[in-house]
Structure 1
Amino acid sequence: MLTRLSCLLGAALLLVSACGQSELSQIDTGEPGVKPVPAIARNQKIKIVGSSTVAPFSRTVAERFGAVSGFPTPIVETTGTGGGFKAFCEGVGPVSPSIANASRPMKDSERELCAKAGVKAITEVALGYDGIVVANSKLGPDFDLTKEQLYLALAKEIPDGKGGFMPNPHKNWQDVSPDLPNGPIVVLGPPPTSGTRDAFVELGMEKGAEAIPQLKALKESDGDAFAERAHTVRTDGVWVDFGENDSAIVQSLVKSPEAIGVLGFSFLEQNGDRVKGARLAGVEASFDNIVSGDYGLARIMFFYVKDQNLPLVEGLAEFVSASVDEGAAGNDGYLIEKGLIPLPEADLETQQALAKQLEAKVRAY
């Protein structure tokens, strides 16, 4: 199949060159249900979609890449992790996204969606770590929350004390615990399509639910029912879906000192003069605590490469290498200034090896 596609690509390129056409030609791969693949276009910009948490790092690399590589500056769009995968999986070709940024791993259902559209060769690249923080205005109260308290504040239904469940009645933080500030529970957070939302629910609320005996027993007896109880966020106005842009959450927190927000650590780092992070079970949300594993809301950030676009989009493999280069993502890389928590050295070397493999693929075409 790859041999046939390579031949078709070569033939199409000769045809475009001979005819002087500026528009993209279409190549039929011959696979039923799969859209034709556009031939390579000179100066086609790399298109990147996905996570708002990963986007600032991609944009920083893209700007440098465009300035020094000789290739056009990649386009980075913020769509949320889920929305990014949806766009990424629409098909193969230079007009489709070549990279999907993600603040969580790709789901099996998303890989199946890609495969149905002919996107069958995907490389997962780990970029670094990020923490998920609960933050509020510098003018607001100080918070020190446990994961159990997060669950009790934000779950749609909680145990009723009689063996069943009831709609979450908590309106004030002191309804959850008298040790918490006296103020309304108002949380600005990412929508269901966000990888930050997924990670917050899994690392925060789910672990908090496990601390409650009734829910721990439910997990052992019926994992699906437990997940439904642990992952479902309130819809009564306490949690406010605030779009995919963490910067917008920061801006609203500054204007609303009574609210708290759920966002990536890098946004806390970049806005430390305006917002502050809550402690998690007494542990500060800091670079060192995330690296050490002491802070309990941390996850790996990824980007996914559409390998089939490597011969169709100039500079794609080189951009991947630039993203995981020691000077970008290493311990002293320029992305650290943007809030990236670097991978351990051996793990970063593994990602660099993946990047070199992609460059070798391009040379083999």
Structure 2
Amino acid sequence: MQKFTLTLAAASLLVAAATSASAADGRDYISMVGSSTVYPFSTAVAEQFGKTTKFKTPKIESTGTGGGMKLFCSGVGVDTPDLTNASRRMKKSEMETCQKNGVNEVTEIKVGYDGIVVANSKKAKAMQLTREELFLALAKEVPSPEGGDKLVANPYKTWKDINKNLPADKIEVLGPPPTSGTRDAFVELVMDEGCAAFDAIKALKETDKKKFKSVCQTVREDGAYIEAGENDNLIVQKLEANPKSLGIFGFSFLDQNADKIQGATIDGQEPTFDNIAAGKYVVSRPLYIYAKNAHVGIIPGIKEYLAEYTSDRAWGENGYLADKGLIPAPKEERQKFADIAKNMTPVTLD
């Protein structure tokens, strides 16, 4: 009887081991989700990685930064992503969700920089805008055109209504949804900054911070701003179809479609590679990838993929990602994050 019990126990162990092996065998490639802005860079690295190593080409999905974080932080296991792209830094609340679901160690790698552009079709005249004008065009509430401290529902219908030197075209801007890191960064770098230029709103910062934030960051919902999903290529196509509309997306998509679209000058600076790299173009931000440390050694090739990503041939000043529109980080910063990737040093968010 004892011998029979031992045999059952051994059988149970064998079944468990077989199930575990089967789960691991269920995915022998890297799964990556996240930002549509970082997507083309991670895809370029994945293609190079698949061609030059023994590992399978990673599967990259464009889900938006927020959507990617949700999937990434949903747990540990082969049915969850190993990596996620992000066009903003991970939020503390997202890290808390990760940890609550057992994703305890995450490695953060800043891969470079990007500009956020406001672009239109080359069939139309290039726009010259300021952050204040963009705020007035897109905010739900704005200072009354009649003056004073009163805030009113956005009355502006055309660009000329805001500035007589702008075209009399209807305000129609195609942009990313709230789940997008590009949307987060646009709100922070354009809406917040443009908003603070008005004394009537600036005063709220001292008296009612919640109202100040709401006024600065709430986008109008009357059709002037159109959420176009996470597919930046679709925005490019719509700009071609409607030359009077504008679109918001990362510099790399402008760079890749320079034959069809053009970037607006913002606060006197054009969205060019050199201007973003030099810090002259104000609407720029860092880009990130995040790796799930618990999957290293379980899913094959994660450390090797990160090694390719953080190599000079990829993200260096003359690397193939610069050809795709990525603005390389300074050499010292690249070395810092290459070391973090090599050692899989977990991030601690402030």
TM-score for both structures, normalised by structure 2 = 0.91
- Contact map agreement 1:91 1:118 (CA 8 A) in 2: yes
In structure 2, the residue matched to 1:142 is 126
For residues 1-365 of structure 1, the aligned pairs below 5 Å read 15=14, 19=18, 23-24=22-23, 40-41=24-25, 44-160=28-144, 161-358=147-344
Structure 1: distance between partners of 2:96 and 2:47: 33
Q: How far does residue 219 in structure 1 lie from its aligned partner after superposition?
A: 1.6
- Contact map agreement 2:148 2:200 (CA 8 A) in 1: no
| Counterpart residue type for residue 121 of structure 1 | E
Secondary structure of the 2:203 match is helix
- Contact map agreement 2:26 2:78 (CA 8 A) in 1: no
CA gap of 1:19–1:276, structure 2 versus 1, over 3 A, is: closer
Q: How far does residue 163 in structure 1 lie from its aligned partner after superposition?
A: 2.1
Q: How far does residue 15 in structure 1 lie from its aligned partner after superposition?
A: 4.7
| Counterpart residue type for residue 52 of structure 2 | V
Secondary structure of the 1:302 match is strand
Q: How far does residue 222 in structure 1 lie from its aligned partner after superposition?
A: 2.6
Secondary structure of the 2:321 match is helix
Secondary structure of the 2:119 match is strand
- Contact map agreement 1:141 1:181 (CA 8 A) in 2: no
Q: How far does residue 141 in structure 1 lie from its aligned partner after superposition?
A: 2.1
Instruction: Give every structure 1 segment of 4 or more consecutive aligned residues whose post-TM-superposition deviation is greater than 3 Å.
Output: 14-22
CA gap of 1:19–1:265, structure 2 versus 1, over 3 A, is: closer
Q: How far does residue 140 in structure 1 lie from its aligned partner after superposition?
A: 1.2
- Contact map agreement 1:154 1:234 (CA 8 A) in 2: yes
Q: How far does residue 289 in structure 1 lie from its aligned partner after superposition?
A: 0.5
- Contact map agreement 2:107 2:341 (CA 8 A) in 1: no
- Contact map agreement 1:50 1:81 (CA 8 A) in 2: yes
Over residues 107-153 of structure 1, what are the superposed CA-to-partner deviations in whole Å (9 max), with x where a residue is unaligned? Answer: 11111111111111111100110000000000112211000001001
- Contact map agreement 2:139 2:216 (CA 8 A) in 1: yes
TM-score for both structures, normalised by structure 1 = 0.88
Over residues 283-319 of structure 1, what are the superposed CA-to-partner deviations in whole Å (9 max), with x where a residue is unaligned? Answer: 1110010011110100000011111111211111111
Number of aligned pairs?
Answer: 333
Secondary structure of the 1:66 match is helix
Q: How far does residue 221 in structure 1 lie from its aligned partner after superposition?
A: 2.7
Q: How far does residue 68 in structure 1 lie from its aligned partner after superposition?
A: 1.1
Structure 1: distance between partners of 2:254 and 2:108: 27
Over residues 51-108 of structure 1, what are the superposed CA-to-partner deviations in whole Å (9 max), with x where a residue is unaligned? Answer: 0000000111001111111111110001000000000011112221011100001111
> Which gives a bigger RCO, structure 1 or 2 (Cα 8 Å, sep 6+)?
2
Structure 1: distance between partners of 2:174 and 2:138: 11
Secondary structure of the 2:25 match is coil
| Counterpart residue type for residue 61 of structure 2 | E
Structure 2: distance between partners of 1:130 and 1:217: 32
Secondary structure of the 1:133 match is strand
Secondary structure of the 1:332 match is coil
- Contact map agreement 1:42 1:314 (CA 8 A) in 2: no
Consecutive unaligned residues of structure 1, counting only runs of 5 or more, are 1-13, 25-39
Structure 2: distance between partners of 1:152 and 1:20: 59
Q: How far does residue 20 in structure 1 lie from its aligned partner after superposition?
A: 9.0
What is the RMSD computed on CA atoms of the aligned residues? 1.9
Secondary structure of the 1:352 match is helix
Structure 1: distance between partners of 2:35 and 2:195: 26
CA gap of 1:175–1:94, structure 2 versus 1, over 3 A, is: same
